[in-house]
Amino acid sequence: MIHRKILFYVFTLLSIHPIDAQTREEALSEFDWLTGFIQRNYPGYEIKTQGKEDEWNQRTAALRNIIIQRPDTLPLAMDQYVRNFNDGHLWVNTTPEGNAKFQSIIQRELARRAKSHRPESFNMYYTAKAMNDSTFFLRIPSFADSESNEIVEKNLKEITSRPYLIVDLRGNGGGNDMNFQTLMALVYSQPYLTHGVELYATPDFLSLYRRLVTENPEETWARFCQDMADSVAQHLGGYVLRPGLQRIRLMKRDSVYPYPRKVGILIHGRNASSAEQFILEAKNSEKVTLFGNEPTLGAIDLSNVYSFTSPLGWFRLGVPTTRSCRWPDIVIDGKGIAPQIPVPYPDSMQERDHIGEEILYIERVLRGIPCRAPANESTGK
């Protein structure tokens, strides 16, 4: 039997009246390209569908049926197919050409979702503040650019003169691992092991790296892409390590900062990708305690996304090209990283550069000061 959610989705799509009729042949060819490309190239496909082949075939057939009946619903069917994998690094978007072609159905779907979805506002700023003589506070809502390193560098003297550090990562969806290295140096206490990543060696990814060699004139990058192409060509159907990486690597830094002695990291359900990589590495430190009320998003096992244009040019498909060497033995995707200590205050995503009660609570825990529960959670008198 097809899952109830799929039946509901079929009903939803068929209840939308078409504006422009698309040819079945074109729509089906785009959908078949999407499903085929993911089956051939997505590193998580085999593991995520293993033992569920009949269910996946039914889901795919149901969505294909919708397209046969209503070719104009193609963007929604493709989006649903991708969402079934529950992977934040796997996505599909319409191109400008696709937006123009499917404008009516896209606008109707956006309007429908807007009515049923209550948006969660998010307003967090990079923040660096001395809370007092003992504690420094950092809020880092992204690792997308160098600002996350720069804010630590600018305040390094003040941070390293205090025994306690609080790092608020709420809303940080990741970015680039290079952009948390300065922060990692602060929280580091002893050598630890970390896993590398390996590239899925498929013909499509071989073509990708051969194309990147010719498209990028920068010598170092072109050499890297050529090395990857050569390695993929020799190991088609398997996995290859990226140049210079190992499956498991011992991470060792030259020095350990005496201060801060204790570090509280406030994690959140939006933490993903490079933010989760930082959290994984930081939790190896004897200095670090993870605080929060929910696990991280769980979008780190499959990474290094490249995008590909569909044959008719209507869609861009983003596909992870690598998997963590700890996968599938240790899985974080779909599970996340759990906090170690809950915070008895609601998450506020509107704090800008403000220090809220939840941060003051973390400071009290780090300093060993007895903590009273908030009034609305105290037992009852």
The pLDDT tens digits of the residues spanning 41-90 come to: 999 999 999 999 999 999 999 999 999 999 999 999 999 999 999 998 99
Question: Residue 4 — very low, low, confident or very high, per pLDDT cuts 50/70/90?
Answer: very low
Both 152 and 261 in one domain: the answer is yes
In a domain, 309, yes or no: no
Query: What CATH number is given to the structural domain containing 134?
Result: 3.90.226.10
Both 213 and 72 in one domain: the answer is no
In a domain, 311, yes or no: no
Both 266 and 223 in one domain: the answer is no
In a domain, 149, yes or no: yes
pLDDT-above-70 percentage for the chain? 87
- Whether residue 193 has pLDDT greater than 90: yes
Measuring CA to CA, how many Å separate 187 from each of 147, 253, 277? 18, 11, 14
Range of the domain at 101: 4-113
Out of 85, 113, 141, pick the residue that ends a domain.
113
Both 44 and 176 in one domain: the answer is no
- Of residues 90 and 346, the one with the higher pLDDT is 90
In a domain, 186, yes or no: yes
In a domain, 321, yes or no: no
Both 17 and 138 in one domain: the answer is no
Both 109 and 142 in one domain: the answer is no
Both 84 and 144 in one domain: the answer is no
* Range 84-109 average pLDDT: 90
In a domain, 92, yes or no: yes
Q: What is the pLDDT of residues 104-147, one digit of tens each?
A: 888 887 777 666 655 455 667 899 999 999 999 999 999 999 99
For residue 377, the model assigns a pLDDT of 46
**Tally of domains within the chain:** 3
Both 158 and 287 in one domain: the answer is yes
Question: Residue 341 — very low, low, confident or very high, per pLDDT cuts 50/70/90?
Answer: very high
In a domain, 307, yes or no: no
For residue 121, the model assigns a pLDDT of 55
In a domain, 118, yes or no: no
Both 90 and 139 in one domain: the answer is no
* Range 186-198 average pLDDT: 95
Kindly report the pTM of this predicted structure.
Answer: 0.82
Both 136 and 47 in one domain: the answer is no
103-107, 238-242, 326-330: which is most confident: 238-242
CA dist., res. 375 & res. 176, Å (int):
41
Both 133 and 99 in one domain: the answer is no
Question: Residue 347 — very low, low, confident or very high, per pLDDT cuts 50/70/90?
Answer: confident
CA dist., res. 81 & res. 140, Å (int):
34
Both 25 and 78 in one domain: the answer is yes
